[in-house]
Amino acid sequence: MRELALLQHIYGNNTLLPECITIPPGDDMGGIQIGDTHLLVSTDQLIEDVHFNAQTPLEFIARKAVARNLSDVAAMAATPVGAVATACLPKRMHQAQAYQLCDEMRRWSERYSCPLFGGDIAIAGSKLHIALTVFAKPGDRGAVRRSGAEPGDIVFVSGQFGGAWTGPSGPVSRDFTFEPRIELARRLAEHPDFQVNSMIDVSDGLARDFKRICEMSGVFGQLDGSLVPVHSSAHVAASGDGLPAFIHALKDGEDYELCFTVSEEAASGVLKEIEGVPITRVGRILETATRLHAGEIQILGVDGEILSINDLGWEHHI
Amino acid sequence: MRELALLQHIYGNNTLLPECITIPPGDDMGGIQIGDTHLLVSTDQLIEDVHFNAQTPLEFIARKAVARNLSDVAAMAATPVGAVATACLPKRMHQAQAYQLCDEMRRWSERYSCPLFGGDIAIAGSKLHIALTVFAKPGDRGAVRRSGAEPGDIVFVSGQFGGAWTGPSGPVSRDFTFEPRIELARRLAEHPDFQVNSMIDVSDGLARDFKRICEMSGVFGQLDGSLVPVHSSAHVAASGDGLPAFIHALKDGEDYELCFTVSEEAASGVLKEIEGVPITRVGRILETATRLHAGEIQILGVDGEILSINDLGWEHHI
């Protein structure tokens, strides 16, 4: 099955949604107006043998379930308010493990000021499945969308990219211990010197997720591979398969860092670091008048050459 | 694993929730105060080989996923406002089936004025798993809780009970084609002549779910087996296993009808029928001063005798 085609099919019906739906499917969170409240909602699954395995400690399964959703909240520069969860527990799970999982889900939700206040539990099958739904309220300037990038914008990222599943050493890899950039995003979005035009959290790889900004904004984007901050884990990954580390940083995913755009005039005001996390300029939205390139991206290699899809080691078109 | 013990474990931590949580785990929906908005949220799973099987038409899987959640909305006499869903699609599913499932989910959500505005899709494993989260707003008199039953209250139900999985004839049984009692519940809760003190939707069997009202309200309830409206399907089920039809009506579940209580003084004002659905008096909350029976129920047989758990054909204590 082609997941991308299915998503396009769903987005194609967005026009059928009523007016109260302020943000339809296709962004990091959905939005709905209920009375005076603009409610943002994100829902995400964590599935055994897809996102974790039977050996992953329950603490880190719970943490990832919560943190992944909160990374979507960060991508809109919103503030979490609460969550509900479903869990389908495998029949092999012991009572004590089930208690622990529920306790850890509650603990990690609390940690991010996002209290878990409802849910549904089933006991069935052989694989653990968790679905978490998180509610948030937008900041004073409103939710930051994927669709707001403008020609001329400068592209920034938080943190470093690549090889998230390779390390650092410890019981689990970085894709289980990342911090959702909620506070960082809020400080970006509320900064008096610039406005964040568009933002996304990077879960499927920097290039892929930046392309989503370009698609939703109808612009032509460029990432400069020589500027992308490369995580030490990307070098570990590179030593394993021979691909350059910066290619891993562009394509690997599970980084849960932010990618955002700011107008060229305001870009010099963007801080170099927020809460100890570096903010790095990695590209720009090109000034192009042609519709031909809307939604497309161009990636430059370390010597400024334009890379082809094959250079990125992708099996499928991004 | 004992699901009941796990739920008790979760409810035991309800006191840790912050003040904005107006309805903690243990009711049909959770409640959270966000600014001026009191938001009600319910989340529920539909799992292959638990709630449907590989032969169930996709239309009815989608319908049940939506209608089950909306039955929770009805139980609080609330009005649905929107929904988000996750779907874990089995690898065997064809593209056209995935389109159909998404379209049917959208269609059934719209049908109940509960637009689907966000979600998450994964393709993994061999069983279809759907988790739907529904948002609702309470009526003018507030959400009707499970916990409001008072000694002396009269117990009523909507519709008829028993054998939901046996028929009527058609592509699927009644547990796939029930109508969530949203409008009926609103008319009950807004009626000027009486106040609904407590309400629940019956998914796990009338006796079990009525016991939940008694547990949450701390009262001692009595159901009169001779008064419980028996669905024709309960007779089909009875002819299969030899248990009396009224026992099937008390224990089978998947009826998705409402059970509610009204004070004795106001009970005569309760309508006999709403929107073509009969409303029937089936029991009462006993006047007892002892704590011994709080949360317990007593079930009378057709001749007024007190039934034992064994008479109900349950394997486990309710």
What is the set of domains in chain B, with CATH numbers? 28-137 (3.30.1330.10), 146-312 (3.90.650.10)
Q: Which residues of A are less than 8 Å from B86 in CB distance?
A: 43-45, 131
Of B76, B79, B148, residue with least CA distance to B112? B79
Q: At A73, phi and psi to the nearest 5?
A: -60, -45
What is the distance between the alpha carbons of residues A265 and B66, in angstroms, rounded to a whole number? Answer: 48
Using the Cβ of B11 and the Cβ atoms of chain A, whether some distance falls under 8 Å is answered with no
Return residues 232-261 of A near B (CB < 8 Å).
Answer: none
Q: Determine phi and psi for A53, rounding to 5 degrees.
A: -130, 180
Written as one letter, the residue type at A93 is M
- Whether the per-residue pLDDT at B20 is higher than 70: the answer is yes
Which of B17, B58, B128, B133 should one mutate to test binding to chain A, selecting the residue with the greatest count of A CBs within 10 A? B133
B47 and A6 within 8 Å at the Cβ level: the answer is no
Predicted confidence at residue B171, as pLDDT, reads 75
**Mean pLDDT throughout B22-49?**
96
Please classify residue A155 by burial: count the beta carbons closer than 10 Å to its beta carbon, then call 0-12 exposed, 13-18 middle and 19+ buried.
Answer: buried
Helices (H), B218-289: 232-241, 245-251
How far is A177 from chain B, CA to nearest CA, in Å?
A: 22
Q: Do B95 and A49 touch (CB under 8 A)?
A: no
pLDDT level of residue B293 (50, 70, 90 thresholds): confident
The amino acid occupying position B228 is V
Mutate which: A51, A52, A120, vs B, most B CBs within 10 A:
A120
A239: three-class secondary structure by DSSP: helix
Between positions 28 and 47 of A, the ones with CB within 8 A of B are 29-32, 34-37, 39, 41-45, 47
Looking at residue A317, its pLDDT comes to 40
Q: Does B96 touch chain A (CB under 8 A)?
A: no
- Give the closest-approach CA distance of B95 to chain A in angstroms: 5
Please report where in the chains the tokens 């008479």 appear, as a residue.
B311
Mean pLDDT of B187-210: 96
Interface test with B, best of A16, A27, A28, A34 (most B CBs within 10 A): A34
Whole-number pLDDT of residue B62: 98
Q: Give the C-alpha separation, A180 to B147, whole Å.
A: 37
Side-chain half-sphere of B257: how many Cα atoms within 13 Å? 29
- Residue in chain A lying closest to B37 (CA): A37
Mutate to test the interface with A, among B21, B120, B121, B146 (most CBs of A within 10 A): B120
CA distance A65 to chain B (A): 13
Are A1 and B91 within 8 A, CB to CB?
yes
pLDDT value for B291:
65
Write a three-state SS string for A146-197.
HHHCCCCCEEEEECCECCCCCCCCCCCCHHHCCCCCHHHHHHHHCCCCCCEE
**Chain A residues 71-90 within an 8 A CB cutoff of chain B:** 81-82, 84-86, 88-89
Q: Tell me: pLDDT of B255 over 80.
A: yes
Within its chain, how far is the Cα of A227 from the centroid?
20
In chain B, % of residues over pLDDT 90: 89
Nearest CB to B115 within list A18, A43, A84: A18
- A128 in contact with chain B, both atoms CB, cutoff 8 A: no
B120/A contact by beta carbon, under 8 A: yes
For the cut 50, the answer to whether the pLDDT of residue B1 exceeds it is yes
Instruction: List C-alpha distances in Å: A23 to A28, A140, A187, A263.
Output: 9, 17, 22, 23
A99 touches B: beta carbon within 8 Å: yes
Out of A25, A49, A122, the one facing B47 most closely (by C-beta) is A122
What is the reported pLDDT for A172?
Answer: 85
Interchain contact B54–A (C-beta under 8 A): no
Give pLDDT tens digits along chain A (318 positions): 888 899 999 999 999 999 999 999 999 999 999 999 999 999 999 999 999 999 999 999 999 999 999 999 999 999 999 999 999 999 999 999 999 999 999 999 999 999 999 999 999 999 999 999 999 999 999 999 999 999 999 999 999 999 998 866 677 899 999 999 999 999 999 999 999 999 999 999 999 999 999 999 999 999 999 999 999 999 999 999 999 999 999 999 999 999 999 999 999 999 999 999 999 999 999 987 666 788 999 999 989 999 986 667 655 443
DSSP secondary structure code for residue A52 in this structure: B
User: What pLDDT does B318 receive?
Assistant: 38
Q: What is the mean pLDDT of residues B98-117?
A: 97
Residue B211 scores a pLDDT above 60: yes
